[in-house]
Chain A
């Protein structure tokens, strides 16, 4: 007499085989991917299509009972001819370009340093990685205190180094310095991330290439330009892609640091979008803005990925 467990083991494959036996491989494949496809349709594709539809209307989510009117391309025209939107796009471009440049230079430099495997390098790697493990909200909040002109550590450190009065300048309240403040904080937080990617690139270069270069009496500078940089390039480009997409939609940290101010100096596109969508409740207009931003990022990322593939093939 067999036990219940034995009977279950004996029967289960037969049942499964019986049920799946009549299905083709293609059908089984569909069976497995259908839940994922449905989920994707529900949470990505449907909202996207709905957003596209709303972008041609005057819809306001806070007035669901108001008459819905199709306005054609009016929302798109209004956005593209609005100097405030162009200002927000410029602020975004400034932030994205300079933060990435800074993170790239510092991240690559740190990766080169850490790659030397000096004594205690693991400890320093952990220390360097700490900022990227923090929440952007936390980073935004504590940098607000660090940059406070009277009590902030940053101003006091500058005062010690330069001898100026710490309260004689303000980083996030000054039109000229505020954009650089958010770039600096972003670089502080995300340079370790770029460093990690670069480090992976550096460690993927086989040692024999350097050994061959040394046999050929290539100088360290020559080795860097001819071996290190070209072989790390795909990793650098990947880091640029990831950071560009992230920073293009950066919201939380900027919102906490400056709220887009002073005035609208640091009002990046995501802050404008949030204000239009959830403060002014111009849902149709903000849908159009969201679509424009989406197309911009998607288009730029596609072109970039093609360039990245060309670099990889070299």
Chain B
């Protein structure tokens, strides 16, 4: 009897330890931090394959865009262990690299034969490198993005609207090629009644609290000739940030805000733009490409009713870079598992599925595929846009630089404070002070 009890006890211990081991393997978990938006849902779907393959569970920390930078920069600065993987904004790369928040990935890439040549050059520079244009990699390009435009294709196609536009401007109503054309179209639609409803010309970014108005205004500024500094002498901003062309670009953005936006859009960013477009309020909308798959699927304004176009040109042709790279956080407790996720994510097949699910791959296997431009109605415009992207400062002091620009531009565009020249002159002074504090000038 005693022997039987002993045998049962031993068996129980063995079974329990086996189950315990299995449970431990099952509870291996990675936390991925990103913004709460459509592509994040696509990534959740995609990552199920990673869990199926490795047994590592994925946990997500998604934060709305307006508090995304605050939340995760605080997390990184306090050396928090919340995120094993982070899809951080392109402008964070300088600070994250210099302050040791991200794991440098060069050795890992070399070991795993992950080549940055397999990714679109603009995304490698924008999302992975610090210092820029050097072979120092801190992230894998994860989510390609840039500013693009959507328009109401169905409104543009109406014969009576076409006729009226032709009569007024002596050209066909079509997606604008230049900012001047865009403003004409916006003026044409502003206050017009369509299907018994008053509509407005354009939706543009004006948000004050985080990065909104900067991400919007730069699209015009770049095209008029604004430059962050002297290409031959870094950090020399006088005459580049506040050049006569930059002043014209800023004046234009303000005139577009005043003439052709819906009332109440004085503090609006991505989600307000989506709301305005989905509710049939605006003819054209500035927003990131990341939202376009969702808009195309929208039952009210998607499908045949929506069209897309690249940010218009003026003297030059650029668009604001969005998007992010995926990095391993230095303070992560599961660094090896996080690296295995990056290795998995870098595979061409996974990248293809990423695009199919609604994420924007930066991999040449996806973007270089001859069928890519026709794979979605906005795919060709996305490709064109990624060739003309320009990004905000990615310096370690980017947050200070961004806040200064938010303030100066919002003061001028929305609050009618001073002139465009004064706003940009003050911006130069603010930025000089930041770089002086940083010891760079």
Which A residues are within 8 Å of any B CB, using their own CB?
Answer: 61-63, 65, 148-150, 152, 167-168, 170, 172-175, 255, 258-265, 275, 278-282
Task: Kindly list the 5 A-B residue pairs having the minimum CB-CB distance in the complex, ordered from nearest.
Answer: A263-B415, A173-B266, A259-B209, A263-B411, A261-B208
Q: Which residue of B lies closest to A171 (CB)?
A: B264
Residue B400 lies at the interface, judged by CB distance under 8 Å to chain A? yes
Taking each of B99, B264, B410, which has the highest tally of chain A beta carbons within 10 Å of its own beta carbon? B264
Main secondary structure on chain B at its contact with chain A? loop
Question: Do A263 and B99 touch (CB < 8 A)?
Answer: no
Q: Which residues of A contact B400 (CB under 8 A)?
A: 279-282
Residue-by-residue, is B335-352 near A (CB-CB < 8 Å gives 1, otherwise 0)?
000000000000000000
The answer to whether A170 touches B264, judged by C-beta atoms less than 8 angstroms apart, is: yes
CB neighbours (8 Å) of B77 from chain A are 61-62, 281
Are A63 and B99 within 8 A (Cβ)?
A: yes
Given contact pairs A167-B262, A261-B209, enumerate 5 new A-B contacts (beta carbons under 8 Å): A63-B99, A173-B265, A174-B266, A262-B208, A275-B403
A6 and B309 CA atoms in complex are apart in Å by 87
19 inter-chain pairs at a CB distance below 8 angstroms, sorted by A residue, are A62-B77, A167-B263, A168-B263, A172-B266, A175-B417, A258-B208, A258-B267, A259-B208, A261-B415, A262-B208, A263-B208, A263-B411, A263-B414, A264-B407, A275-B403, A279-B399, A281-B77, A281-B400, A282-B400
A271 (CB) vs chain B CBs: closest residue: B209
Q: How far, in whole Å, are A291 and B411 apart by their CA atoms in the complex?
A: 28
From known contacts A62-B99, A260-B209, infer whether A279 and B263 are also in contact, taking CB-CB under 8 Å.
no
Contact (Cβ within 8 A) B74 A278? yes
A264 CB to nearest chain B CB (Å) = 6
Determine if B266 and A261 form an interchain contact, defined as CB atoms under 8 angstroms apart. yes
Within 392-425 of B, Cβ neighbours of A (below 8 Å) are at: 396, 399-400, 403, 407, 410-412, 414-417
B69 proximity list for chain A (CB < 8 A): 279
The distance in angstroms between the C-alpha atoms of A173 and B410, with both chains bound, is 11
Task: Let me know if A261 and B263 touch, CB within 8 A.
Answer: no
Contact of A62 with B95 at beta-carbon distance under 8 Å, contacts A173-B265, A263-B410 already known: yes
Given contacts A279-B70, A279-B399, contact A173 B95 (CB under 8 A): no
Known A62-B99, A259-B209; contact A280-B403, beta-carbon cutoff 8 A: yes
Cβ–Cβ < 8 Å partners of B416 in chain A = 175
Instruction: Assess whether A261 is in contact with B410, with CB atoms less than 8 Å apart.
Output: yes
Q: Which residues of B contact A (CB under 8 A)?
A: 69-70, 73-74, 77, 95, 99-100, 207-209, 262-267, 281, 396, 399-400, 403, 407, 410-412, 414-417
Q: How far is the CA of A174 from the CA of B267 in the complex (A)?
A: 11
Residue of B nearest to A275 (CB): B403
A interface secondary structure, majority? loop
* Cβ–Cβ < 8 Å partners of A170 in chain B: 263-264, 266
**B-chain residues with CB within 8 Å of residue A65 when the two chains form the complex:** 99-100
Find chain A residues with CB under 8 A from B99 CB.
62-63, 65
**A149 near B264 (CB under 8 angstroms)?**
yes
Question: Considering the chains assembled together, what is the distance between the CA atoms of A278 and B95 in angstroms?
Answer: 15
**Contact between B415 and A265, CB atoms less than 8 A apart:** yes
Given contacts A262-B414, A263-B415, contact A255 B209 (CB under 8 A): yes
Output the least CB separation between B394 and chain A (Å). 15
Closest to A256 in B: B209
User: What residues of chain B lie closer than 8 Å to A172, measured between beta carbons?
Assistant: 266-267
What is the minimal beta-carbon distance from B26 to any residue of chain A, in angstroms? 37
Asked if A280 meets B399 with Cβ closer than 8 Å, knowing A62-B99, A263-B410, the reply is yes
Indicate which residue in B70, B267, B412 contacts A278 across the interface (CB closer than 8 Å).
B70
What is the CB-to-nearest-CB distance from A61 to chain B, in angstroms, rounded to a whole number? 6
Give the shortest distance, in Å, between A250 (CB) and chain B (any CB).
Answer: 16
Complex Cα distance, B266 from A148, in Å, reads 10
Q: How far is the CB of B305 from chain A (nearest CB, A)?
A: 21
- Judge whether A173 and B414 touch: CB under 8 Å: yes
Chain A min CB distance to B411 (Å): 4
A174 to B258, CA, bound (A): 12
Chain A nearest CB: distance from B32 CB in Å?
Answer: 22
Instruction: Knowing A148-B264, A261-B266, A279-B399, say if A62 contacts B415 (CB, 8 Å).
Output: no
CA distance in complex: A277, B396 (Å): 16
Q: Which residue of A lies closest to B414 (CB)?
A: A262
* CB-based nearest B residue for A168: B263
Residues from chain A with a CB closer than 8 A to the CB of B407 are 263-264
Q: Considering the chains assembled together, what is the distance between the CA atoms of A47 and B396 in angstroms?
A: 27
**List of B residues within 8 angstroms of A148 by Cβ:** 264
B264 A173 Cβ-Cβ under 8 A: yes
| Residue of chain A at shortest CB distance from B101 | A62
Chain A residue with the shortest CB-CB distance to B100: A65
> Which residues of chain B are near A61, meaning CB under 8 Å?
77
Contact between B415 and A264, CB atoms less than 8 A apart: yes
CB neighbours of B73 from chain A (8 A): 62
Does B411 contact A264, Cβ atoms closer than 8 Å?
yes
CB <8 Å contact, A150 and B264: yes
Nearest-Cβ distance from residue B89 to partner chain A, whole angstroms: 14
The interface residues of chain B lying within 8 Å CB-to-CB of A62 are: 73, 77, 95, 99
